[in-house]
């Protein structure tokens, strides 16, 4: 009877080891995909910030040209530079709006990622505790975390 019980307990332990290994593989895949997603968001934020800097520079340059035409009282250049200034201000506004939207989206995604990472860590700890308890019940010596039987 005791032999049957020992075999049954060790079989349950082996099934739990396989389940924990499966969870570990899933967690690793989630980590890889999530890290790639976060890297993509960081890259997109960098590109949006660069676009905003370019548009700001273009608007500032258009403003300087406008001021120069205004100082020179050159009406032809003044009206042309005013149109360029208006267009550059509109472009900057659009880029700033997109950048703000992207920043808000990235902040939400980071919060979701942090929560998912926390949940994965808690699940991994729970798996390790279940595995250690099953190892004790099965009388397994060795490393219960790796699932190697002694």
Q: Mean pLDDT check: name the lowest of 13-17, 42-46, 110-114.
A: 13-17
Q: Establish if 145 belongs to a structural domain.
A: no
Task: Give the global pTM.
Answer: 0.72
pLDDT at 142: 59
Spell out the alpha helix ranges (H) of the chain.
2-72, 75-138
Chain segment 123-142, per-residue pLDDT in tens: 999 999 999 998 888 887 75
Task: Give residue 55's domain range.
Answer: 2-137
- What are the CB-based long-range contacts (under 8 Å, 24+) for 17-26? 17/131, 17/147, 19/127, 20/127, 20/128, 20/130, 20/131, 20/147, 21/147, 23/123, 23/124, 23/127, 24/124, 24/127
Domain count across the chain: 1
Write the CATH number for 125: 1.20.120
What mean pLDDT is reported for the chain? 90
């Amino acid at each position: 009877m005791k032999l049957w019980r020992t075999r049954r307990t060790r079989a349950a332990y082996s099934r739990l080891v396989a389940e924990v290994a499966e969870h570990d593989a899933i967690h690793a895949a989630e980590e890889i995909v999530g890290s790639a997603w976060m890297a993509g968001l960081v890259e997109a934020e960098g590109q949006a910030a660069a676009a905003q800097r370019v548009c700001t520079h273009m608007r500032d340059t258009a403003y300087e040209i406008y001021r120069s035409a205004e100082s020179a009282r050159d009406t032809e250049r003044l009206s042309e530079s005013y149109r360029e200034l208006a267009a550059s201000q509109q472009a900057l506004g659009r880029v700033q709006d997109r950048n703000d939207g992207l920043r808000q989206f990235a902040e939400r995604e980071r919060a979701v990622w942090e929560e998912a990472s926390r949940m994965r860590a808690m699940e991994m700890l729970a798996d390790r505790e279940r595995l250690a308890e099953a190892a004790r019940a099965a009388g397994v010596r060795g490393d219960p975390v790796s699932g190697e039987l002694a």
